[in-house]
Each structure stands twice: as C-alpha cells, then as structure tokens.
Amino acid sequence: MISDATFGTLKALYHTFGCKLNFSETSTVAREFGRRGIRRVTAGETPDIVVVNTCSVTALADKKCRQAIRSLHRRYPDAAIIVTGCYAQICPDEISAIPGVAVVAGNDRKDRLGALLDRFIAEHQPQIEITPFKEIQRFTPSCSRGERTRYFLKVQDGCDNWCTYCTIPRARGRSRSATVDELVAQAREAAAEGGREIVLTGVNIGDFGKRSAAAAKETFLDLIRALDGVDGIERYRISSIEPDLLTDEIIGFCAGSRAFMPHFHIPLQCGSDAVLRLMHRRYNTDLFRHKIELIARRMPDAFIGIDVIAGARGETDEEFERSLRFIESLPITRLHVFPYSERPGTKALEIDYVVPPQVKHERVNRLLRLSEEKLHAYAARFIGTVRPVLFETPDADGVMTGHTDNYLKVRVPGVAAAMENRIAPVRLLSVADTDGEDIVVTGEPADTLIDR
C-alpha cells in the first residue's frame, strides 16, 4: 500500500489524454516526481501512483477519461490515482467519487501534485484542490522532452475567446503567458540537453503576451524572433494558432527564418460564414483563405493542417455543403475532423438547429475522405525529392523513423541507431501506408556520410 511506502521506493504510471499541451505538462509532472524519488514504472511493474491528465474537449473525451480511471483502479487496486487536467478542473466532484481516486487537482495546480500526494499519504483522505476558473492567474511553466526527440515548450495558457461550443475557458482560465526571456532560457536548457526540435504549445498561443510578467508588451512575433536565435535548436514547430492571430508578419518571418519549419496547424472549424458567426469565431472565410494562400505562396512546400467541427448546431445541409466546397478549394494538407459534441453550459445549446447523429456521422466521413485525398496528393508531390529528416525512433528491424522539415513521416531502413536525434538528407521513394492520420513515406539516405 502507498501509505506504507517511502518516496524512494514509489513507482508512478502516467496516462495522458488530449492535446500536446497536456503531454508537455505530464512530462513536467513526471520530472518533478522524479526529483522527489518517484520513478517511472517500467514494463511488468505495478505502480504505486497513477497520474491521469485528462481532457474535456468533448463529451466523448469525458467518458474516455472516466473509463480509463475505473479501468486503472481495477488493474491496480492499491495504487493512489491522481487526476488532473481539464476534466478534473470542470467536474472535480464527479471524478472524486470514482473508487481509487486519491487526488483531484485543477489545471493550475499541476505543480502541487507532489504536495497533495504528501497530504494524502499523511491524512489518508482524498485531496481536492481546484481554483475557480475566474480566479486562475498563475502561469505554470513547462518545457519537457517528448517520447521521441522533440521538446514541448509551453508558452501560453488559457483563452479569452469564449466560442459558443467550447468549455476551454472554464477548464483553463483566462489567457496568460510566460515572458520571452523565460522561454528563451528554457529553449537554451533544452539545447544544452541535446534537444534539436521544439514544439511551441499553449491553448491560444497567438494570444501570447497577455498577463505576463514582462515589463513591456510582448507579442508572439517577438517570441519567435527571439527563439530563432537560440543556438542548438534546429527546428521549431507551432502547434496550433488561430487564423486571426496568425499575422502576415508571422507568416513572413517563418518563411525566412532559420529554424521555424514550413508547418502550420490552423483551426477553421467551419467553412461557412453563417456557422462561424454562430460559433462566435473571430474571422470569416475571406480572412482564412488569405492566410492559407499567403502561406502557400511564401512557403510552397508547407504542410498545412486545419481543424474542422462536423455537425455543429446551426450547420444545415446547405451550410455544410458550402463549408465542404470551401475546404476543397484550399491548398491545405490535412484535416483534423471532430464531430460536434454538446457541452453543458455553452452558448451553443441556445442555437435551434440540431444536426441528427447519423447526418453528423456522414459528414465526418466525407471530411475524412477529403483529408485522405489531400494528404495523399501532398505526399506524392515530394516523391523523388530530397528532404532533411530528423531521425527519431529506431525499431527492432533496423528501420529509423523521422519527420521531414515539412512534417512528412518517413521510414528509412538500414540507418544506424547512432543517427537518432540527428538531421540528414533523405530521398523520398514512395508513399507506403497510413499510420493513424499520418501518411508514411519510405526513403533512403541521400548522403553517403550516413553510417548504414
């Protein structure tokens, strides 16, 4: 039992749902626990502690989190389960009632999980610590290495937009940021540890600069200019940025920068202006088209992913067809498609027209087919060309996996394991298959200096 253990013998299992920001924060929690003597569980071991970092972007995400917590308790009945993240922030009482849960902590309390675990061990009572979302003010830093070779640098948290379908402001609080100097220092630390690539994460990163400790106003453009000058970091990727906050100046800077990759992820949500207004989005399709076409002109090889919600309230058949035609006309690479999910307390529930579940399902499938067509066509453009690949993961068969600068996933056989976390030119040979939402391209070393 955990109450009889000492920190030097405790083992923890980490389970993360949701976005890159959550994965970054879980990694930071694991590092903090490691400093306390709590080591990560290895294969075949039984954890004393299970940390579940939850998502609440949809009702299905809530359900998956509940199921996972119950499953983990059945599998490890003696483990203390710590639950944090967006679902924990929004529904703490619901989570605390699940058997096995020892700690429930809100999003701004992830840096206090160790202290809450101490209190649970001392008092033998579940601990719940949630800050009301209107009172969340602290920015908790996070810069952590992912499972491959890249780091995730949290630059911003929270959101002030209040889109009608979204609960994220309730889950994450108001928009707030680190300072440029703080983030540059973290990037330098990542470089000193051998990091080559950093993904900038946050809830609404284009809003960077709000409610930070900086003496003067700072912007996202200021941040990326400063990060571009950090020696040792060869690649940056912007995880997701709102189209109205993706300025032409940011696009222009990325097109000419040393280290920012030709890779963008931009939420559209719907290609109908009428539905965008119902969603309270802060742009229209004209602005969105301008941003996408500007990227395509300045960076013709850029990978451009977009988010789309299928079947939102108010999306009639006519508006969906209008949205589909708009997306078809854009020079984008891939769609991340989400079926609309009713969220309690959101303004969207006041919109009259409700899309039937079967119709929503059909729209999701149509959008996914379009995404597959666009992604295949994009990948095919680069067959026969040479692209720089950051090698990430060797497998047992001697195949090295990595990503090109423009985010094509590549598998290259016969590359020595010593090439992990190194960048080298690779000739792209063929589109092999799919891996989840990714297209996988086979390649061969294009440089005879690569030790095969």
Instruction: Render pLDDT for 409-440 as a digit per residue (tens, 0 to 9).
Output: 999 998 888 889 999 999 999 998 766 567 89
Q: Is residue 198 helix, strand or coil?
A: strand
Mean pLDDT of the 57-81 span: 95
To the nearest 10°, the Cα dihedral for 272, 273, 275, 280? 140
Query: pLDDT by residue (tens digit) across 379-389?
Result: 999 999 999 99
Q: What is the mean pLDDT of the chain?
A: 93
Within the chain, all domains assigned CATH 3.40.50.2300 are found at 2-131
In terms of DSSP bridges, do strands 176-177 and 156-157 run parallel, antiparallel, or are they unpaired? antiparallel
Per the DSSP assignment, residues forming a β-bridge with 269 are 308
Return the CATH class of domain 386-445: mainly beta
Per-residue tokens: 152: 């995730």
- pLDDT at position 448 is 58
Stretch 392-409: mean pLDDT: 90
CA 59 vs. chain centroid, Å, equals 19
3-state secondary structure 106-168: CHHHHHHHHHHHHHHHHHCCCEEECCCHHHCCCCCCCEEECCCCEEEEECEECCCCCCCCCCH
Alpha carbon distances (Å) from 449 to 378, 399, 445 = 29, 18, 9
Least Cα distance to 393 among 408, 376, 415 occurs for 415
Domain ranges in the chain with CATH number 2.40.50:
386-445
Q: Is the dihedral of CA 132, 134, 138, 140 positive or negative?
A: positive
Give CATH 3.80.30.20 domain extents, the chain.
143-377
Confirm if 115 and 85 have CB atoms less than 8 A apart: no
Residue 14 is encoded by which pair of tokens?
């980490």
* Residue 127 CA neighbour count, 13 Å, CB half: 23
Give the pLDDT score at 397: 78
Average pLDDT rounded to a whole number, residues 365-378: 96
d(Cα 86, Cα 220) in Å, to the nearest integer?
25
> What pLDDT score was predicted for residue 437?
65
Nearest to 430 by CA among 439, 438, 422, 421: 439
What pLDDT score was predicted for residue 372? 94
pLDDT at 360: 97
Q: What is the mean pLDDT of residues 227-242?
A: 97
Check residue 332 and give its pLDDT: 98
Q: Which of 150, 437, 440, 131 is nearest to 307 (CA)?
A: 437
Mean pLDDT, residues 243-262 taken together: 98
What b/e readout covers 222-240, taking b as 16+ CB neighbours within 10 angstroms? bbbeebbebeebbbbbbbb
pTM, to two decimals: 0.91
Could you tell me which of 176, 84, 61 has the C-alpha nearest to residue 130? 84
Please identify, in words, the CATH class of the domain defined by 2-131: alpha beta
Q: How much is the pLDDT for 144?
A: 84
CA distance readout (Å), 410 to 36, 198, 265, 373, 438: 38, 19, 20, 19, 10
Show Cβ contacts of residue 385 under 8 Å, excluding neighbours closer than 6 positions. 427, 428
Q: What is the predicted pLDDT for the residue at 6? A: 53
Q: Is 141 exposed, middle or buried (0-12, 13-18, 19+ CB in 10 A)?
A: middle
Q: Are strands 176-177 and 49-54 parallel, antiparallel or unpaired?
A: unpaired
Q: Are 223 and 208 in contact (CB under 8 A)?
A: yes
Task: Judge whether residue 450 has pLDDT over 80.
Answer: no
Residue 118 and residue 152 in contact, taking contact as beta carbons nearer than 8 Å: no
Residue 8: pLDDT above 80?
Answer: no
Tokens of 369: 């087919």
3-class DSSP state of 251? helix
More confident residue, 236 or 137: 236
Q: Give per-residue pLDDT as tens, 92-125.
A: 999 999 999 999 999 999 999 999 999 999 999 9
Q: Is the dihedral of CA 332, 249, 277, 87 positive or negative?
A: positive
- Among 17-21, 156-160, 206-210, 260-264, name the one with the lowest average pLDDT: 17-21
What is the percent of the chain with per-residue pLDDT over 70, rounded to a whole number?
96
Report the pLDDT value the prediction gives residue 452, as an integer from 0 to 100: 41
- Which among 165, 172, 166 has a CA at the least distance from the CA of 202? 172
Q: Per-residue pLDDT for 278 more than 70? A: yes
pLDDT over 80 at 146, yes or no: no
**CATH 3.80.30.20 given to domain 143-377:** yes
